[in-house]
Amino acid sequence: MSKTLREIFYETGPQDRMIHKWDHYFDIYEKYFSPYRDRPLNFLEIGINHGGSLQLWKKYFGDNIRLYAVDINPACQAFEEKDVQVTIGSQEDPTFLRSLAQTLPDMDIILDDGGHTMTQQRLTFEWLFPKLKEGGVYLIEDTHTSYWEIYGGGLKRSASFIEYCKQLVDSLHIHHLHNPAQVRSNELIRQIHSICFYDSVVAFEKRQHREPFHTRLGKEQVTPVEIKESKWLATWRKWIGKNVRSFGRNQRH
């Protein structure tokens, strides 16, 4: 049986390049990365540092991986080798991000482990999420910086990356809002299939988000309990009965 990422990581020895990881990240990586094992994939990592993670991905995914890596530090160019393309630039620079988006092929996995500031995480996401293939996954790690002022974060601070993601959670429910104009929507947002929050990691899956529908089948078995409604709820129900955006709209008969 193939080794897990955690097993491969803890085999790192003093002869290998340095890598630094929170232990609980391995379960998250395994969940999203394992379906790609031993099949051709394009993987983009922002943030190279000593190059240890590039070695880890190569060991885990085998020969089929094509790695693309970005760092602001020109010394990281030294990590370019067969199947590893290194680009030097800042993930905070929209001109650099635009040219990156224009030159890179579409990716199966994008991992942002770069500078971890709010501007960097948001800008990089907005420029590079469109570079994901349908079905691909985009992970941002060390999102605890959303709670650290030195990175531009702070609890409930509107500029934090976590607060930005919370707004995307609202957008994910656009089809259920009485006033859809209250949430942001654009081509990028319409490609978000899921947003998963972990301790210090946010994972986005990309898949076209179509208007959902629901289906009721079979024969009723119980008499529903009569629920005493508040005056407000009764008025709302009456209103919803008369207006278009009712729940029934998406029901298939």
Contact call for residue 114 and ligand SAM (CB under 6 A): yes
Q: Which residues between 120 and 149 bind ligand SAM (CB under 6 A)?
A: 120
The answer to whether 116 is a known catalytic residue is yes
Contact call for residue 71 and ligand SAM (CB under 6 A): yes
Contact call for residue 48 and ligand SAM (CB under 6 A): yes
Which part of the chain contacts ligand SAM (CB under 6 A), choosing from 48-56, 77-85, 196-204, 222-230?
48-56
Cα 237 from Cα 229, distance rounded (Å): 10
Contact call for residue 87 and ligand SAM (CB under 6 A): no
| Residue 20 CB, nearest approach to ligand SAM (Å) | 6
Phi-psi region of 33 (alpha: psi -120 to 50; beta: other; left: phi over 0): alpha
Q: Which long-range contacts (CB under 8 A, 24 or more apart) does 62-69 make?
A: 62/37, 62/38, 64/38, 64/39, 64/40, 65/41, 66/40, 66/41, 66/42, 67/43, 68/42, 68/43, 68/44, 68/104, 68/107, 69/44, 69/45
Cβ distance to ligand SAM smaller for residue 12 or 246: 12
- Catalytic option among 20, 116, 173, 178: 116
Q: Using CB atoms within 10 Å of the CB of residue 222, give its burial: 0 to 12 exposed, 13 to 18 middle, 19+ buried.
A: exposed
| Residue 149 CB, nearest approach to ligand SAM (Å) | 18
Q: Which residues are catalytic?
A: 116
Can you give the binding site for ligand SAM, defined by CB under 6 A? 19-20, 45-49, 52-53, 70-73, 90-92, 113-115, 120
